[in-house]
Structure 1
C-alpha cells in the first residue's frame, strides 16, 4: 500500500503521513496517534511491507503545576514565554510535546501519570514548596524542574540566578542616592522569592547600606493585590524611602500605581527597580527599570538538558542558574551610559 493510499484512508495529506512515518514534527499529537494506529493495523513498515510496527515518536510532557496561580498565572506571561521556547526546541529535536495543567494536587498528578509513552518530563516548579519535593521521586522517567533551584534536593533543575541578579539591582539603587533602600516582598512564599530576599539583605550588608522594618512592605503578588496592599500601607501612614527594590514586576507595578495615586512622583520622589522584565514593565506608568530574565534561554536549555539525560543518562544532578542584566527605564532617574 502506498503513502497516498494510506493518506486517503486517514483523510489527511500524503505529506502528513510522511511526517509521521519519518517521526518529524508538524502533526498534532492526536492526529499522529491516529495515523500510527492505522499504520500498525496495516502492518506498514517504512521501505517495505511487513509485520514490524512503526515506532512510537519520542514524547515529552510539560507539566504546569498551579498551586495558587499567583506566580504561574498572574505574572504577565512569564511561563508562557518559557513554554514557547520549549515547544520550539522540542520541534528541533523531533520530540512531540504534550502539555498538562495541574491545579489541584502535585501528588495526584504524579501518582496518576502515565509514562508508558513518555521519554521525559518538564515540570514548572515555580509554586512547588519543599514539602512537595519528595513527590518528584515517584517520577519514573527523566525530568527537569524549571523555575525552581530545588535546593538540597537531588534532581535536575534550571532557573535564574536570583541572588546575583538582585545584587546588581541593589548596587544600581545604591548608586542612585543615599539613605535606606526599601523592599517590596511577596506575601506568597516561593523559592525564587526566598533567594531574592537573601540576595537583597546580603547585598545591603555588603554595600554598607541600611534598611529597616519600617521600609519592608509585604504585598500579594498580583497587580490588584499589590495595588490594594500598598494603598493600605499609605492609608495607615507608612513612610517610603527614595529607593525601593521589588521582588517582581507585578509587585512593583501595582505598588507604583498606588504610590502615584497618593501623590508620589516616580522617579523624582521614589525610584523603583523590579525583577522579571515581563511585557507590562515596558508599558507601565512610568516604564519600569527591571532585571531581565532569559526565559527563552531557560526553556531551550531545559529541553536540551532533558534530551541529554534521556540520550546519555546522568550520574549526577545538573543544576543551572542563568544570570541576566538590568533593563533601564523611567522608574529610575539616571540611565548608565
Structure 2
C-alpha cells in the first residue's frame, strides 16, 4: 500500500503521513498517534523509512518523462528553460535537485524511486496521456506536474494558459483582415495541443474569421516532420490560406521552409504565427511572430507550489495556469 493510499484512508495529505513515518515535527501528537495506529492496523512497516539518518540532506527530484520525444526533446530548449528556472529557484530555497530521465516505463520508474531521500518531485507532464495519469497516484511524496493542466485528475499542476494565449495570436491575425485563416495542428496528441485547438476555434468565432477543414494541416511536431509533411500537402496541390496559426514554433518553422521551397514568400504571400517563442523563432528566416511563454515563471511557481506542499501539507490540489499578453511580432507577419 502506498503513502498516498494511506493518506486517503486517514483523510490527510501524503506529506503528513511522510512526516509521521520520518518522525518529523509538523503533526499534532493526537493526529500522529492516530496515524501510527492506522499504520499498525494496515501492517505497514514504520521502520522502512528510517534507513537514512536525519542529517542526510534530502533532494527534490525532476522526473523528465519522454514518451516520443517530439515535445520534450525536439522543441528547441523549451523544457530546458523551465528546468534552468527550477534549478535557480531550488538553490534559493536551499533544495538540492537531481534529474532522472525516463523513456520506457513510467510506472517502474516511480515505483523504484528511493522515497527516503526525496522530499518532493517535479514531473514533466508534456507527453503524458490521460491513461498515464493514474500511474502518478503511486508517487509517495508531494509532487507537481509541469506543462500539463491534468484535467479531471487530482494533483498539483502548472502550465501555460493555452486557450487565452492562442486568442492573442488569432487576434493579431484578425487585425490584418484575412479572407480566411488556416491552422497547422500537431499529429501527436497532447493536452496542450488539445487546449490550443479549442482556443483556436473559439477565437475564430470570436473575431468572425473564416476557417474550414481544408485549411487544417496535420503534421508531426518536429522540424523535419513538419517540413516533410507540409511538402506532401504542397505536392498534392493543397490550397494554402494566406494566414496561418501553428500549434508551436517548431511546426511553424518547418512549414515556412517547405512553403519557401515551393516559391511562397513570407510574409508577402503567407503570414504565419507560432506559439512558445523558442530561440529558433528569432533566428529563422524570416523571424517568426509568436506567443511568448513565461517559462521562467512556470519554473519559479512550480518550486513555490511544491515547497508549499512540502512545508504546509496542503490537503487540496492547486492547478496554476500562467498567462502572457506578450505577442512577439516579427517579420513573418509584417
Q: Do they superpose with TM above 0.5?
A: yes
SS of 1:202's partner is helix
What does the per-residue CA deviation read over 1:5-38, in whole Å, with 9 as the maximum and x for residues that have no partner? xxxxxxxxxxxxxxxxxxxxxxxxxxxxxxxxxx
Shift in Å at residue 171 of structure 1? 0.7
- Residue equivalent to 2:74: 74
- Residue equivalent to 1:145: 145
Unaligned 5+ segments in structure 1 are 1-52
- Residue equivalent to 2:21: none
User: Does the 8 Å CA contact 1:177/1:243 hold for their aligned counterparts?
Assistant: no
Looking at CA atoms only, which structure, 1 or 2, has the larger radius of gyration? 1
- Residue equivalent to 1:254: 254
In structure 2, relative to structure 1, the CA distance for the partners of 1:181 and 1:114 (3 Å cut) is same
Distance in 2 (alpha carbons) for counterparts of 1:72 and 1:181: 28
Shift in Å at residue 246 of structure 1? 0.0
Shift in Å at residue 315 of structure 1? 2.4
Q: After the TM superposition, which residues 274-293 of structure 1 pair with which residues of structure 2 at under 5 Å, given as runs? A: 274-293=274-293
- Residue equivalent to 1:120: 120
Q: After the TM superposition, which residues 129-278 of structure 1 pair with which residues of structure 2 at under 5 Å, given as runs? A: 129-278=129-278
SS of 1:193's partner is helix
Distance in 2 (alpha carbons) for counterparts of 1:99 and 1:178: 46
- Residue equivalent to 2:47: none
What does the per-residue CA deviation read over 1:215-266, in whole Å, with 9 as the maximum and x for residues that have no partner? 1000000000000000000000011111100000000000000001101010
- Residue equivalent to 2:50: none
User: Does the 8 Å CA contact 1:123/1:146 hold for their aligned counterparts?
Assistant: yes
Which of 174-183 and 274-283 deviates more? 174-183
Which fold has the larger relative contact order, with Cα–Cα distance below 8 Å and residues 6 or more apart in sequence? 2
Shift in Å at residue 180 of structure 1? 1.1
- Residue equivalent to 1:105: 105
SS of 2:116's partner is coil
In structure 2, relative to structure 1, the CA distance for the partners of 1:76 and 1:65 (3 Å cut) is same
- Residue equivalent to 2:330: 329
Shift in Å at residue 58 of structure 1? 3.1
User: Does the 8 Å CA contact 1:247/1:275 hold for their aligned counterparts?
Assistant: yes
SS of 2:183's partner is strand
Unaligned 5+ segments in structure 2 are 1-52
User: Does the 8 Å CA contact 1:58/1:94 hold for their aligned counterparts?
Assistant: no
Distance in 2 (alpha carbons) for counterparts of 1:122 and 1:137: 14
Cα root mean square deviation, aligned: 0.9
Moved over 6 A (4+): none
In structure 2, relative to structure 1, the CA distance for the partners of 1:141 and 1:233 (3 Å cut) is same
Shift in Å at residue 54 of structure 1? 6.2
Distance in 1 (alpha carbons) for counterparts of 2:196 and 2:253: 18
Report how many residues are paired. 281
TM-score, with length taken from structure 1: 0.82
Which of 84-93 and 171-180 deviates more? 171-180
Shift in Å at residue 179 of structure 1? 1.1
